[in-house]
Amino acid sequence: MCGEILTDLDGNQYHTKKIGDKCWMTENLRTLKYSDGTDIPNYPVEADWRTTNIGAWVYYANNSSNDEIYGKIYNWFAVTDGRGVCPAGWMVPGDEDWKTLEIFIGMSQSDADDTGWRGTDENISGKLRSAGTDYWEPPNAGASNESGFSGMPSGLRYPDGRFVSLGRSAFYWTSTWYSISEAYGRAIVFSHGGVSRGIYRKDFGLSVRCILDTVSGEPS
């Protein structure tokens, strides 16, 4: 149920919170397994990551010490694998689910439907970011975590293998397809009030949040 601790097949635990009409995990996904128990491949080597068309994960900078705070980084093929990257009964939010979240915390519908940076005047990013500078680079301007989303600056992996923006930015996949090679995602940064609705190559590595699958059960 929403508000209770969610545990994945590896024993990782996640806090959950109802935000608007959706129940969200408030920490980044850390699982090594699909929901059927199948292992998700780990591809730390750039050439393997760049050329695969199956799901894969890495630690940021291939350093396991980043896992507990920031979670793992996944390509989009893991996000949409039919076995389910989220725990059973949960799913990766689509682009519309993200819009619903953004509108609930103050973004207009017209801004939500746009691409690029939106919601700057309403400080939507600040409402999603965990407060303080223990993990976010100073000044982490406007961060209040008013929504309870507790966004952490987990960075990303480029298809060429580079890891960037730990401490400065958070990037999240949606499950929504854009083109044969691209999908929608979101970005928030330490120095900007807006949230970017962007389009990323599917061989990027971004963080994942899960929401309760309302086909399986309603948030409470």
Q: Is residue 35 part of a domain?
A: yes
Does residue 177 lie within any of the structural domains?
yes
Owning domain of residue 176 = 6-212
DSSP string covering the chain, please? Answer: -TTSPEE-TTS-EE-EEEETTEEEESS----SB-TTSPBPPB--SHHHHHH--S--EE-GGG-GGGHHHH--EE-HHHHT-TT-SSPTTEE---HHHHHHHHHHTT--HHHHTS-EEE-TTTTHHHHHBPSSSSSSPTT-TT---TTS--B--EEEE-TTS-EEEETTEEEEEEEEEEETTEEEEEEEETT-SSEEEEEEETTSBBB---EE-TTT----
| 12 lies in some domain | yes
Residue 116 lies in a domain: yes
Asked whether residue 1 is assigned to any structural domain, the reply reads no
Residue 214 pLDDT level (bands cut at 50, 70, 90): confident
pLDDT tens figures, 66-100: 999 999 999 999 999 999 999 999 999 999 999 99
Q: In whole numbers, what is the pLDDT of the chain averaged over residues?
A: 95
